[in-house]
Amino acid sequence: MNSPLHVHVVDADRASRDGLVRYFESQGLTATPMESASELLRRLHRNRPDIVVMDGGLAAPGGPSGLQACRQLRDEGDRVPLILLSARNEEVDRVLALEMGADDVLGKPCATRELLARMQAVLRRSIVPPGLPMLAMAPVTIGAQQFDMASRCLLRGDHVHVLSTVEYAVLAELVVNPGVAISRERLLAASHSRAEGLLLRAIDVAIMRLRKRVEPDPAQPRFLQTIRGHGYMFVPAAPPPETAAAAAQRSRRSTPWGAVASPSMNSV
């Protein structure tokens, strides 16, 4: 039996927040009320929703606004579906919210039936089940192997290893965010349909298996690095240093026939 959709309702106005929670629950959804964007950022990966509805203007003292929280999530690569509610209904405000990463923007106060319809539309466009291949991304080099997201495989020469759903989802979440520290909670949410009741140790086990696949020395990981107290990070291999011969050849190619290469031409 399918679990009901879970929505986080983030609004500093208690009456507005509680009203939306009651409406969503009357429609068969599970709704978790939150009163600040800081609370959302703190709890998002431990209690992963299907979608977030948030007041874009709310801000606790010293904390981010809803708009800033949306931007932070997108900068971190988090693709949780998110609708912002805005009391300012000017076109420039709606455009700004969309540019910050919101999936939709709705004026506040809003008709609850329209909000629910927009939520369903956003979910139809953006829900990606854990483990679904990311077809649009080219294969990524990890050491001596290629990670092909479309086929969920690690390729080394003629050898092909098909990853499990969890291994694939964890590695994909890391690889599409190179150089970004990804929390265990977020990796758990990315690799499981429902993270409730699962242990973060499951992510450590998946990382251990992946390291055995991609690292020259799993005990001294080069590509899948541990961020202590937080999670893991994918660190791509740096391109090999350019040899003097290659540099000279490139310089000759970029210099017009008969011209003299000056230091200023090669320092750009």
In this structure, the answer to whether residues 192 and 117 fall within a common structural domain is: no
Q: Indicate the residue among 126, 157, 179 that finishes a domain.
A: 126
CATH number at residue 205: 1.10.10.10
What percent of the chain has a predicted confidence (pLDDT) above 90? 30
In this structure, the answer to whether residues 162 and 108 fall within a common structural domain is: no
**Type and span of the H or E element at 229:** none
Supply angle C-alpha 123, 127, 129, rounded to 5. 150
Answer yes or no: is 251 within a domain. no
Angstrom distances, CA of residue 134 to CA of 9, 73, 106, 262: 29, 20, 29, 46
In this structure, the answer to whether residues 164 and 79 fall within a common structural domain is: no
Q: Indicate the residue among 126, 158, 184 that finishes a domain.
A: 126
In this structure, the answer to whether residues 95 and 163 fall within a common structural domain is: no
- pTM for this structure? 0.53
Answer yes or no: is 49 within a domain. yes
Q: What is the pLDDT of residues 7-58, one digit of tens each?
A: 999 998 899 999 999 999 999 999 999 999 999 998 887 788 889 999 987 7
In this structure, the answer to whether residues 163 and 116 fall within a common structural domain is: no
In this structure, the answer to whether residues 111 and 150 fall within a common structural domain is: no
- Determine the average pLDDT of the residues in 116-131: 72
The per-type count for the chain, helices as H runs and strands as E runs, is 10, 12
Answer yes or no: is 30 within a domain. yes
Answer yes or no: is 263 within a domain. no
8 Å CB contact between 35 and 14: yes
In this structure, the answer to whether residues 122 and 150 fall within a common structural domain is: no
Rg (CA), the chain: 23
8 Å CB contact between 157 and 214: no
**For residue 185, how many other CB atoms are within 10 A of its CB?**
19
In this structure, the answer to whether residues 115 and 204 fall within a common structural domain is: no
In this structure, the answer to whether residues 170 and 58 fall within a common structural domain is: no
Answer yes or no: is 252 within a domain. no
Tell me what pLDDT residue 253 has.
43
Answer yes or no: is 265 within a domain. no
Please give the single-letter amino acid code of residue 145. Q
In this structure, the answer to whether residues 148 and 122 fall within a common structural domain is: no
Question: How many domains does the chain contain in total?
Answer: 2
Q: Which domain holds residue 73?
A: 6-126
Answer yes or no: is 133 within a domain. no
* Short-list 76, 124, 104, CA closest to 227: 76
* Short-list 27, 30, 82, 81, CA closest to 54: 82
**For residue 197, how many other CB atoms are within 10 A of its CB?**
6
Tell me what pLDDT residue 225 has.
95
Q: What is the pLDDT of residues 96-107, one digit of tens each?
A: 888 888 888 888
In this structure, the answer to whether residues 52 and 94 fall within a common structural domain is: yes
In this structure, the answer to whether residues 156 and 81 fall within a common structural domain is: no
Answer yes or no: is 259 within a domain. no
Q: What is the pLDDT of residues 233-256, one digit of tens each?
A: 999 976 555 555 555 554 444 333
Q: Indicate the residue among 100, 126, 152 that finishes a domain.
A: 126
CATH number at residue 42: 3.40.50.2300
